[in-house]
Amino acid sequence: MKQRQGGVTLIELMIVMVVLAIVASIAVPSYRQYLIRSNRTEGTAALLQLRIAQEKFFLQNGRYADDDELTEAPPNGLGLPDATVHGYYGVALNRTSPTTYTATATAANGQVDDRTCPSLTINESGVRTAGGPVEVCWK
């Protein structure tokens, strides 16, 4: 009686490797796009927080803060960082008059791959705009 040895042939191993490579080539870009979309919330949250701080500053000072007062501690400024928590967005403030401003969050670091929404903006009236479709970027 001949004894048969069990195991995996080289061909079977190569087929499994090809299938895994195909699945990975589909999954990795999809996951990267998912991360980019989820990181947008950091930019939108920073702008909404800035808007609330601006309204408080306006009530106390009769004017909105400008970019120089963004990082300065209250009551002389807003006391907010010029970048988001994880550094995915840089935050800037542009006051055009004592009663108007535009706040902008611009993609930075790993978020620069976000070609759909490279920047997000909000003004004193709460009007939201973006470097792409507003309904997608501010979702």
Name the residue range of residue 60's domain.
10-137
Q: Name the average pLDDT for the chain.
A: 92
Give the separation between CA 36 and CA 24, rounded to whole angstroms.
Answer: 18
Q: Number of helices (H) and strands (E) in the chain: give both, helices first.
A: 2, 4
SS (H, E, C) 9-27: CHHHHHHHHHHHHHHHHHH
Max Cα-Cα span within the chain: 98
Using the predicted structure, report yes or no on whether residue 58 has a pLDDT greater than 70: yes
Q: Examine residue 129 and state whether it is found in any structural domain, yes or no.
A: yes
The predicted structure's pLDDT at residue 6: 75
The predicted structure's pLDDT at residue 80: 95
Q: Examine residue 100 and state whether it is found in any structural domain, yes or no.
A: yes
Q: How many domains does the chain have?
A: 1
pLDDT digits 0-9 by tens, 64-106: 999 999 999 988 999 999 999 999 999 999 999 999 999 999 9
Q: Examine residue 5 and state whether it is found in any structural domain, yes or no.
A: no
Q: Examine residue 34 and state whether it is found in any structural domain, yes or no.
A: yes
Q: Examine residue 73 and state whether it is found in any structural domain, yes or no.
A: yes
The predicted structure's pLDDT at residue 1: 63
Higher pLDDT, 3 or 80: 80
Q: Examine residue 15 and state whether it is found in any structural domain, yes or no.
A: yes
In which band, very low, low, confident or very high, does the pLDDT at 27 lie, cut at 50, 70 and 90? confident
pTM attached to this predicted model: 0.80
